[in-house]
Amino acid sequence: MDDVEKKIKILHVSGATLNSGAGYAAMLTHNALLNINVESKVLYLKELGTLGQNVASYSASGFNARISRLLNTTLERMLIFFNRKKGGGIFSPGFFGVNLKAHPLFEWADIIHVHWANYGFVNIKDIALWKKPVVWTLRDMWAFTGGCHYSLECSRYKDSCGRCPMLNGDNEQDLSYYGLIRKFEFLSQANINWVAVSQLMRADALQSKVLGNQEIEVVYSGVNCDSYEIHTKDYARSILGLPKDQKIILIGSANIRDEYKGFSYIQAALRKLPSNILVIAFGAAELKNHEIPQKIINFGFINETIKLNLLYCSADIFLSPSLNEAFGKTFAEAQVSGLPVICFKNTGPEEIVEHLITGYAANYKDGEDLVCGIEWAISFNFDRNYIRDRAIRLFNIRESAEKYKALYQKLLSR
């Protein structure tokens, strides 16, 4: 190890826990960096279960830290409450944050890597006072909007926000308006090295008022490919107790009922498909039997990679018509398991799927094309080994870690 490598000490910061996409991605990045001789530690906002090596929780670092976390999170929630949130998506004001600079891990680190700033964790006003290089991975749109994490049909983040569809929708100078002003003041000129998890996320950021003049690199949110392999459908189904003579459509995400996950399109498409198809869902939310004509089996939230890998291998296709997805970890996991994926074009997952080769990318918000894609894909004989090999080549977490390491070295050499 050379002298430059010995100096690299990275602190990953995430307000999202391991049960979320951003929190899990931070942990994957951390572990991959450890494997390539980078000193890496993670600081989550609050503890959730047993944390691994070099992983800490801000809330667990003392009574004062616990009170600070609770106070800032409560203040964030109060802002939402008094602004009468009515939209279905996530909205985070981002006006409050704990004193990260006082934490021992902050002092230890050479570089602060922000993965998810919310729940009253990172106060963007403080970043200019950190006096350390900062890398910020854009895992959703929050850093350059007035508060929403996915803007869906709204494009007001490109100019001024206000009249936010997720708030009262009528006030020109609502919470989102002031949120965007604040981000423009504290983030647009800050010494932050921005990284997007897809080309689409980069393009959205470059159209925004806040980050329109920034240099933004792209590093895919990788998958630990060694944890996934291809099993035969018969083997996977026998282990999971699933029928071997039915077509299976797999759907799943942290919350399949989220609007931006395309839940309404999933329902509409399944209602046009034969009732003898078996639908399997995983994630925190459930699909109800009366909502679709097919039989549904809900596996709930899965934190065992082996079981998740078997689910991917048991299915004929993975259906996830997300409307506003930054990248899509489940899409990459499915492909590494050799499973064809159905998605919409003009979304992050389109960069994961090779149309008609590893899945089907339907025209954006085109329900009829989505059904056509499902009907074609569920009976097509895909080359599952090619699907896996391509995914490993493009979305291996080790490759993502190597790119981050190169970025860290560049920052420290300045």
Give the residue-averaged pLDDT of 313-326: 95
CA distance linking residue 196 with residue 308, whole number of Å: 26
Q: Which residue has the higher pLDDT, 412 or 83?
A: 412
- 221 pLDDT band, cuts 50/70/90, is very high
Residue 51 has pLDDT above 70, yes or no: no
- 48 pLDDT band, cuts 50/70/90, is low
Q: Is 316 exposed, middle or buried (0-12, 13-18, 19+ CB in 10 A)?
A: buried
- 279 pLDDT band, cuts 50/70/90, is very high
pLDDT at 50: 58
% of residues, the chain, pLDDT over 70 = 96
Give the residue-averaged pLDDT of 180-197: 95
Residue 60 has pLDDT above 90, yes or no: no
Q: Which amino acid is at 273?
A: L
% of residues, the chain, pLDDT over 90 = 76
- 87 pLDDT band, cuts 50/70/90, is low
The structural domains of the chain, with segments of one domain joined by +, span: 3-222+396-413, 225-394
- Closest by CA position to 314, among listed 254, 251, 240, 385: 240
Give the residue-averaged pLDDT of 257-281: 93
Q: Which residue has the higher pLDDT, 313 or 324?
A: 313
pLDDT at 80: 81
First and final CA of the chain: distance in angstroms? Answer: 20
Q: Which residue has the higher pLDDT, 270 or 59?
A: 270
Phi, psi torsion values for 135, nearest 5 degrees: -110, 130
Residue 296 has pLDDT above 60, yes or no: yes
pLDDT at 61: 78
pLDDT at 4: 46
Q: Please indicate whether the domains covering 3-222+396-413 and 225-394 agree at the CATH topology level.
A: yes
Which run of H or E residues covers position 39?
strand 39-44
Count the neighbouring beta carbons within 10 Å of the beta carbon of residue 155: 11
Tokens of 113: 């890597």
- 17 pLDDT band, cuts 50/70/90, is confident
CA distance linking residue 312 with residue 330, whole number of Å: 10
pLDDT at 116: 95
Output DSSP code: residue 16: S
Give the residue-averaged pLDDT of 285-301: 90
pLDDT at 286: 83
pLDDT at 88: 64
The model's pTM is: 0.92
- Residue-wise pLDDT for 88-97, tens only, equals 678 999 999 9
- Residue-wise pLDDT for 172-188, tens only, equals 999 999 999 999 999 99
- Residue-wise pLDDT for 338-379, tens only, equals 999 999 999 999 999 999 999 999 999 999 999 999 999 999
Tokens of 371: 């059904």
Residue 150 has pLDDT above 60, yes or no: yes
Helix 305-314 with 233-240: angle, nearest 10 deg: 120
- 1 pLDDT band, cuts 50/70/90, is very low
pLDDT at 63: 81
- Closest by CA position to 125, among listed 149, 103, 145, 95: 95
What's domain 3-222+396-413's superfamily in CATH? Glycogen Phosphorylase B; (3.40.50.2000)
- 257 pLDDT band, cuts 50/70/90, is confident
Give the residue-averaged pLDDT of 283-287: 83
DSSP 343-386: EESSSGGGGT--BTTTEEEEPTT-HHHHHHHHHHHTTS---HHH
Output DSSP code: residue 125: G
Give the residue-averaged pLDDT of 142-164: 94
Mean per-residue pLDDT over the chain, rounded = 92
- 49 pLDDT band, cuts 50/70/90, is low
Domain 225-394 fold: Rossmann fold (3.40.50)
